[in-house]
A and B are shown apart, each in its own frame.
Chain A
Amino acid sequence: MNIIIVGCGKVGSTLAAQLNAEGNNVTIIDQDPIKVKALANKLDIMGVIGNGASRSTQKDAGIDNTDLLVAVTGNDELNLLSCLVAKKSANCRTIARLKNPEYNIDAPYFKNELGLAMVINPELAAAKEIARILNFPSAIKIETFAKGRVELLTFKLPEESRLVGMQVKDVATKLRSGVTFCTVERDDEIYIANGNFIFGEKDIISIIASPQSAKAFFKKIGYSLQPIKDSLIVGGGPITYYLCDLLEGSGISCTVVEKDIARCTELANEFEKVTVINADPTDEDTLKEEGIAHADSFVSLTGLDEENILLSLFAKRSGSRKIITKINRIDFDDITSQLDLDSIVYPKNITANTIISYVRAMNKTVGSNIETVYSLFKGRVEAAEFTVSEGSPIVGKPLMELSLKPGVLIATIQRGRTQITPRGQDVIAPGDSVVIVTKGLTLNSITDILNK
């Protein structure tokens, strides 16, 4: 597929890398020649220097043969205009990134009136992920499927858990829980959990379950954190804005520390219940004064990754229970994972996941339609949700009769409102929503899991 990406900042370059790796023909447009050249040197893509909203620049980038234009600059107006021009002149599909909360309310309007295929808001998506984790602090990471009816939760196995030393196949009978184990990360290796796998201390495990059964499961394995009552948030940018909005009704009281008085005023005007502190968040005394030692949760959302990491480490030392760090830019995953930072949120990856789901869904295939794709553990594992329709070769056969490729796990089947934990004799029916977890495969269609 031919794809143009306008803007090669953090989101744009992550997206370019992933879309290119999946075999699409990617062209990037940016006004900064240095950025364009650096990226075009790194990836097998074409770079065009210029204003992405100008018709002639788009023509240079080959808009007439393009299937999709994604505008992800930091400037909402430029994104909208780029999409509008592309839509009018070449009638290609368009995705715009919008981060300004004022436009966010109008997102459905923009989508319909300007003919956008999708509006993405990395900041809002990040805020949603943070809110999910705060509502369920036992997990490091939560992804949702089937409109929130199924969740993929990642957590670290506590040292004295009942699970340590247990085999995967025994868990269901011993604990009588309806969760599916997906992956286990141990010493930088990722394993797809098969029945004979034995859990060890400090394993990072991901499971798929409905929110209720996940809660019950965590209680049974003796790893259930008290609900979070308050949150100390540093940095008052757009993510903070969306997060305060999401947390307003949830019973979590927020304190925001922000340096810039204008932003503080904006937040204070909008959210009555939020305590807004105008101070430098890197000031140790301020944080102590605002109770970093007793805070249930600490969320670092400043614009600087280094600052966020440092502040989170300080919060951990001071005694906050749940810590969430936002990282925008830094790629040193080996280092950050060693720091034991609890939950890390990468807005650029969330956005890339959303757009890649969309791009894969554009490659229409018979028998199934891809709904959501999550790329996990630095892209080593992929969790994808498919809606299965009539005519797919996996329909109507017991799962044990399907010849699956190695490293494939059918994690859950959602039929209407009921969630089924797949067993060998279960049969997939048309209309089911199926979540597949794979290692080392790129799925475009659900038939990709079968041996040829």
Chain B
Amino acid sequence: MNYRMIKYTLGWLMMFEAGFFLVPMITAVVYGEWHTLVAFAISALICLAIGSLCVYKKPEKTGIFAREGFVIVSLSWILLSIFGAIPFMLSGTTTNFIDALFETASGFTTTGSSIFREVESLPKAILMWRSFTHWVGGMGVLVFIMVFLPLGGGQNMHIMRAESPGPEVSKLVPKVKQTAFILYSIYFVMTFLQFIILLISGMGVFESINTAFATAGTGGFGVRNDSCASFSAAQQIIITVFMLLFSINFNSYYLILKLKLRDAINSEVKTFIVIVLVAIGIITLNIYQSYGSIGEALRHASFTVSSLISTTGFATEDFDMWPSLSKAVLVLIMFIGACAGSTGGGMKVSRIIIAFKGFLRELYTLIHPKQVKAITIDKRPVDREVVRSVNAYLACYALVFISSLMLITLDDFDLVTNFTAVTATINNIGPGLAIVGPTANFANFSNISKLVLTFDMIAGRLELFPMLILLSPATWKKA
């Protein structure tokens, strides 16, 4: 383990976090929230001090391997959440540090689960910080840092791989730095576009910025107590469209820019669209009676489906009140999640495709025991390693899921609450059903459960293995 290099990279992370605090600080100045401004300023100074101590001397050996890459990424996310929680404490928004940590982790991992019973009374700067953590966490913090920081060598591919979602991480152009730059440019432009469109639709500047941040990162922290219910129909449709756009693989946008339309609309995107349409169809028919008009039902169904499959977690309606069939479909798409390489969470559509094809292959092997069958996506064979890693991911997913469920069951809530609480956090969605439903929040859980769910959020965002690697003693052995 190259501990010095880990320390050095984490030092830069702290410096960047100090920089991130500038956004809520500006908000605090604009709205004259001097008390909150001081809270953020102190937090920024703390990060700056620790950061500069760590980056004071660049280590001589800058080489890192896959192992260090994973450790850097998972430690980064933990540190980001811990230090990002400080302003919540200093501004007096909450007095329980576990709550603050939960809220920040929920922000960076783009989950959107909140422990605040209501948000409209919170300082604007705090609301801005919550939304901004979504935006930063959506595309990946270390990917962002890599655009600016020469970490040296091809080794930063290890970091990108550990942080980017999806079974396989590919570069768009030979250099990691340029790839990161392209992805962030697309991300930035799309966020800005949404902001402008929301502004035109008549939403206020503050709400537009926050909603754009929260949608772009597929996060889901709202600035209103009712999430998106009191927005106009047009605004809700705009949000629906952008939630779907942000849950498509960003490589596709790059290919579209390169005028390679056929490559851009790959089978993952197609499958994603089909799943979305089918889910909307079923739910619309299912809830049609309670809304009276098909248009109304369609709008709420499409908003909710987009919100949950993109793992954003906005709500226009209390879907906890919907019929059981609708709820079942919603829980199902919560697990599927967005496309690989997007800002969304969940298992990712491409993993589901690979796993399903793997299952079919096993089935055929029973019928023709000697058949040689390849798993292909877009007419290209999927590497054995990838198939294996998908299977390992699913097994690991089940393990983490069940263990978390067991741990939070100690709080003695009903099974639906516990089950959807874990589902909503590990898939980075936000709201679940019952006590953690769209109109409720996570404040009722005990501190231990909140810590477990915080772990689930980060583990889910980093796709499990980077977090689990921290727990393995072999990682810390000398090598």
Interface residue A46 (Cβ < 8 Å from any Cβ of B): yes
Query: Is there contact, CB below 8 Å, between B174 and A45?
Result: yes
CA gap between A33 and B383 in the complex, in Å? 9
CA gap between A43 and B152 in the complex, in Å? 10
A20: chain B residues within 8 A (beta carbon) = 154, 174
Interface residue B479 (Cβ < 8 Å from any Cβ of A): no
Interface residue B105 (Cβ < 8 Å from any Cβ of A): no
User: B73 to nearest A CB, angstroms?
Assistant: 16
A and B contact pairs by CB, cutoff 8 A, 23 listed: A2-B174, A20-B154, A25-B174, A25-B175, A25-B178, A26-B174, A27-B174, A33-B383, A40-B154, A40-B157, A41-B66, A41-B158, A43-B153, A44-B153, A44-B156, A44-B157, A44-B174, A44-B176, A44-B177, A45-B154, A46-B173, A46-B174, A62-B173
The 9 closest A-B pairs by CB, nearest first: A44-B154, A43-B154, A25-B174, A46-B174, A45-B174, A46-B171, A27-B174, A44-B176, A26-B174
Q: Tell me the A410-436 residues at the B interface (CB within 8 Å).
A: none
**Selected contact of B154 from candidates A25, A33, A42, A62, CB within 8 Å:** A42
Contact with A along B142-174 (1 / 0, CB 8 A): 000000000001101110000000000001011
B177: chain A residues within 8 A (beta carbon) = 44
CA gap between A26 and B173 in the complex, in Å? 9
User: B138 to nearest A CB, angstroms?
Assistant: 24
A41: chain B residues within 8 A (beta carbon) = 66, 154, 157-158
9 additional A-B residue pairs with CB within 8 Å, beyond A41-B157, A44-B157, A44-B177: A2-B174, A25-B173, A27-B174, A41-B158, A43-B154, A44-B154, A44-B174, A45-B154, A46-B173
B178: chain A residues within 8 A (beta carbon) = 25
Chain B residues within 8 Å of A, Cβ to Cβ: 66, 153-154, 156-158, 171, 173-178, 383
Query: Is there contact, CB below 8 Å, between A44 and B383?
Result: no
Closest A residue to B66 using CB positions: A41
Number of interface residues of A (CB under 8 A): 14
Residues of A contacting B: mostly: mixed
B153: chain A residues within 8 A (beta carbon) = 43-44
A42: chain B residues within 8 A (beta carbon) = 154
CA gap between A41 and B169 in the complex, in Å? 12
B156: chain A residues within 8 A (beta carbon) = 44
B158: chain A residues within 8 A (beta carbon) = 41
A43: chain B residues within 8 A (beta carbon) = 153-154
User: B168 to nearest A CB, angstroms?
Assistant: 11
Most buried by A among B154, B158, B171: B154
Contact with B along A254-266 (1 / 0, CB 8 A): 0000000000000
Contact with B along A310-339 (1 / 0, CB 8 A): 000000000000000000000000000000
Chain A residues within 8 Å of B, Cβ to Cβ: 2, 20, 25-27, 33, 40-46, 62
B154: chain A residues within 8 A (beta carbon) = 20, 40-45
A27: chain B residues within 8 A (beta carbon) = 174
B176: chain A residues within 8 A (beta carbon) = 44
User: B69 to nearest A CB, angstroms?
Assistant: 10
User: A422 to nearest B CB, angstroms?
Assistant: 36
CA gap between A206 and B170 in the complex, in Å? 45
User: B199 to nearest A CB, angstroms?
Assistant: 37
CA gap between A43 and B66 in the complex, in Å? 13
CA gap between A42 and B176 in the complex, in Å? 12
User: B101 to nearest A CB, angstroms?
Assistant: 34
Closest A residue to B172 using CB positions: A46
CA gap between A170 and B428 in the complex, in Å? 75
CA gap between A12 and B176 in the complex, in Å? 20
CA gap between A40 and B157 in the complex, in Å? 9
A26: chain B residues within 8 A (beta carbon) = 174
A25: chain B residues within 8 A (beta carbon) = 173-175, 178
User: A397 to nearest B CB, angstroms?
Assistant: 35
CA gap between A45 and B177 in the complex, in Å? 11
Most buried by A among B156, B173, B178: B173
A2: chain B residues within 8 A (beta carbon) = 174
Closest A residue to B170 using CB positions: A46
CA gap between A381 and B91 in the complex, in Å? 57
User: A31 to nearest B CB, angstroms?
Assistant: 13
CA gap between A413 and B85 in the complex, in Å? 66
B383: chain A residues within 8 A (beta carbon) = 33
CA gap between A26 and B175 in the complex, in Å? 8
A45: chain B residues within 8 A (beta carbon) = 154, 174
CA gap between A73 and B280 in the complex, in Å? 53
B157: chain A residues within 8 A (beta carbon) = 40-41, 44
B174: chain A residues within 8 A (beta carbon) = 2, 20, 25-27, 44-46
Closest B residue to A44 using CB positions: B154
CA gap between A20 and B178 in the complex, in Å? 14
CA gap between A25 and B175 in the complex, in Å? 6
A46: chain B residues within 8 A (beta carbon) = 171, 173-174
User: B142 to nearest A CB, angstroms?
Assistant: 15
CA gap between A288 and B153 in the complex, in Å? 49
User: A334 to nearest B CB, angstroms?
Assistant: 16
CA gap between A146 and B156 in the complex, in Å? 41
CA gap between A45 and B157 in the complex, in Å? 9
CA gap between A33 and B381 in the complex, in Å? 12
CA gap between A44 and B171 in the complex, in Å? 10
User: A68 to nearest B CB, angstroms?
Assistant: 13
CA gap between A33 and B380 in the complex, in Å? 13
User: B61 to nearest A CB, angstroms?
Assistant: 16
CA gap between A20 and B154 in the complex, in Å? 9
CA gap between A62 and B175 in the complex, in Å? 13
CA gap between A112 and B176 in the complex, in Å? 37
Closest B residue to A26 using CB positions: B174
CA gap between A40 and B179 in the complex, in Å? 14
CA gap between A43 and B153 in the complex, in Å? 6
B173: chain A residues within 8 A (beta carbon) = 25, 46, 62
CA gap between A45 and B154 in the complex, in Å? 7
CA gap between A33 and B385 in the complex, in Å? 11
User: B394 to nearest A CB, angstroms?
Assistant: 23
CA gap between A20 and B176 in the complex, in Å? 12
Closest B residue to A33 using CB positions: B383
CA gap between A45 and B175 in the complex, in Å? 6
A40: chain B residues within 8 A (beta carbon) = 154, 157
Most buried by B among A2, A27, A42, A44: A44
CA gap between A62 and B170 in the complex, in Å? 14
Closest B residue to A25 using CB positions: B174
User: A259 to nearest B CB, angstroms?
Assistant: 37
User: A17 to nearest B CB, angstroms?
Assistant: 9
CA gap between A33 and B153 in the complex, in Å? 21
Most buried by B among A2, A25, A46, A62: A46
CA gap between A40 and B178 in the complex, in Å? 15
CA gap between A150 and B216 in the complex, in Å? 63
Closest B residue to A23 using CB positions: B175
User: B386 to nearest A CB, angstroms?
Assistant: 11
User: A445 to nearest B CB, angstroms?
Assistant: 23
CA gap between A45 and B170 in the complex, in Å? 11
Closest A residue to B152 using CB positions: A44
Closest A residue to B161 using CB positions: A41
A44: chain B residues within 8 A (beta carbon) = 153-154, 156-157, 174-177
CA gap between A26 and B174 in the complex, in Å? 6
Closest B residue to A17 using CB positions: B154
User: A117 to nearest B CB, angstroms?
Assistant: 21
CA gap between A46 and B251 in the complex, in Å? 15
B171: chain A residues within 8 A (beta carbon) = 46
User: A146 to nearest B CB, angstroms?
Assistant: 35
CA gap between A397 and B156 in the complex, in Å? 45
B175: chain A residues within 8 A (beta carbon) = 25, 44
A62: chain B residues within 8 A (beta carbon) = 173
User: A40 to nearest B CB, angstroms?
Assistant: 7
A33: chain B residues within 8 A (beta carbon) = 383
User: B64 to nearest A CB, angstroms?
Assistant: 12
User: B78 to nearest A CB, angstroms?
Assistant: 25
